[in-house]
Amino acid sequence: MEPTITSIAGIAVTEQHYPRYDAAHGTPDPMVRRLLTITLPGGAARFEQTDYGHPGRFNPPELRGIDPALQPRTPELLALCTAVARLLV
């Protein structure tokens, strides 16, 4: 008999690239914005990371939304997000 496979967690990362002087940032350098979403059975947590202010070097991830059931796990989710971001360099 074949095993049943069920996905119980997910990590999605999207990147947006903005040109110089774009309305989203207004700086003379291009900017990259990453959106990281961690999905678990209790909900999802969303983080944003940009290279605003120093092109090519990303700022630490910032929380942009977390479902209530996951709020007690915010430190662990931030640590996971930070680890994933390091892998993307």
First to last CA, the chain: 41
Enumerate the β-bridge partners of residue 39. Answer: 10, 44
Q: What is the reported pLDDT for 74?
A: 97
Q: What is the reported pLDDT for 54?
A: 84
pLDDT tens per residue, the chain (89 residues)?
Answer: 889 888 899 999 999 999 999 888 888 889 999 999 999 999 999 999 999 888 889 999 999 999 999 999 999 999 999 999 999 87
Q: Which amino acid is at 58?
A: F
**Predicted structure pTM score:** 0.86
E strand segments, the chain: 10-18, 31-40, 43-50, 62-66
